[in-house]
Chain A
Amino acid sequence: MPDRSPNRRQYLVAGTAYASRLPQLRVTAVARAAGGSVAGLNRLFGSFSAYRVELMFHWLDGIRDAVAGVLARTEGPARLPQAVQTWLDANLACPAVRALMLEQRRDPKIAERIQQRFRGFVVVLQLELRERGWVRYEVAGRLYAAMAIEVAQSEFEAGRALPSLRETLRLALERP
């Protein structure tokens, strides 16, 4: 008889979907949403704490893939603003996981892994700004990423998109 218990990916996908609707992750609810059990989740991940860390990186990978998708299918001046908007939307979509990230980054090892993901975002910005002919694209990529992170954090705290911040960031990115 085939094993119908969820695999790691199914637990992570279920956790992401659950976290997009509710502010707090609960092990029983996540296990149920995946069609599995707490024991099954613990067997695959070791513990719910370890699962939460994996979920956070699964979420960050999803954000990266969403941005890469926009960059792959968009041309012209709208490319970078759309990619940044996608990044902000994705950040806003799962407040429970973002809260988890803010909590987890107190652990230096996890903080370093999170920093690596953000460095990837900085590199994307730098390459796009270079493509647009910005002279100081390396520094600008880093400082503009700090602005984008500020928008994401403010939206997380507000629990909604903040159009004035997004519009300001867009104006900065679209400058001649």
Chain B
Amino acid sequence: MTRRRSPDPAERSRLLDAAAALAGTTAWHDVTASRIVRAAKVAATRFRVHFRDVGTWLAAAQQRFMDGIRDRIVARTGTLPPGFERLRAASEIYLDGCLAQNELRRWLIEARGALPGLADGLERQNQVYVMVMTPEFARLGWPHPAAAAQLYLAMLMEAGVVESTAGRAVADVRETLWDFLRIQQ
């Protein structure tokens, strides 16, 4: 009698690592479970142990990408005082994190139009960011801090798109963000 192996976290991680590799070579809609297991060097039968389909694999890859940025933000800004410096540091980590995985991020943005699950995951993350940033904007003196946090996040995401197209950090983009943060100071 053969026993079905339980999910192995390292194997799952290798399957998700394949997203970055495939993003540089393949259109997202051409990705199949076979291509993923080949890129991850994992047995073909193992894909469905971890993921229902390519859509859930993409959603997991997006979640890991977002979690990575969030973890770096928490690690590096936790000791900073609330307000301008903390928001600026967090924003730089976000933008640098997007640039570091530029191809994967572009891929995920393209896929979001067709896969509502991806857009939902991003929407949930954005809601959390707005909630976390609201007290920071209150500290900066904005009369409607939640609204300021929401609009700043919209700017930050657009800044990510501009830098993604440029393929590098763009000083004017970042200074425009810091100008917004300074408006009420």
Given A164-B147, A168-B144: A136 in contact with B172 (beta carbons within 8 A): yes
Closest chain A residue, CB of each to CB of B157? A146
Cβ < 8 Å to A, chain B residues 149-165: 150-151, 154-155, 157-159, 162
Contact A172 B183 (CB under 8 A): yes
User: Which of A32-40, A64-72, A148-156 is the interface stretch?
Assistant: A148-156
- Categorize the interface residue count of chain B: 20 to 34
Contact B148 A143 (CB under 8 A): no
- Categorize the interface residue count of chain A: 20 to 34
Closest chain B residue, CB of each to CB of A106? B113
- Shortest CB-to-CB span from B104 to chain A, Å, is 21
Contact B183 A171 (CB under 8 A): yes
Contact with B along A137-169 (1 / 0, CB 8 A): 011101111110111001000000010110111
Whether a CB of chain B sits under 8 angstroms from the CB of A4 is: no
Given A154-B150, A167-B143: A143 in contact with B155 (beta carbons within 8 A): yes
- Shortest CB-to-CB span from B174 to chain A, Å, is 9
Complex formed: what's the CA distance from A1 to B134 in Å?
67
User: Binding site of B, secondary structure by majority: helix, strand, loop or mixed?
Assistant: helix
Contact A147 B151 (CB under 8 A): yes
B114, B143, B170: which contacts A139 (Cβ < 8 A)? B170
Closest chain B residue, CB of each to CB of A154? B150
A136, A138, A149, A151: which contacts B175 (Cβ < 8 A)? A136
Complex formed: what's the CA distance from A165 to B148 in Å?
7
Complex formed: what's the CA distance from A127 to B35 in Å?
48
Residues on A with C-beta less than 8 A from B172 are 136, 138-139
Contact with A along B94-115 (1 / 0, CB 8 A): 0000000000000000000110
Whether a CB of chain A sits under 8 angstroms from the CB of B179 is: yes
Whether a CB of chain B sits under 8 angstroms from the CB of A175 is: yes
- Shortest CB-to-CB span from B134 to chain A, Å, is 12
Residue numbers of A with Cβ under 8 A of B are: 105-106, 136, 138-140, 142-147, 149-151, 154, 162, 164-165, 167-169, 171-172, 175
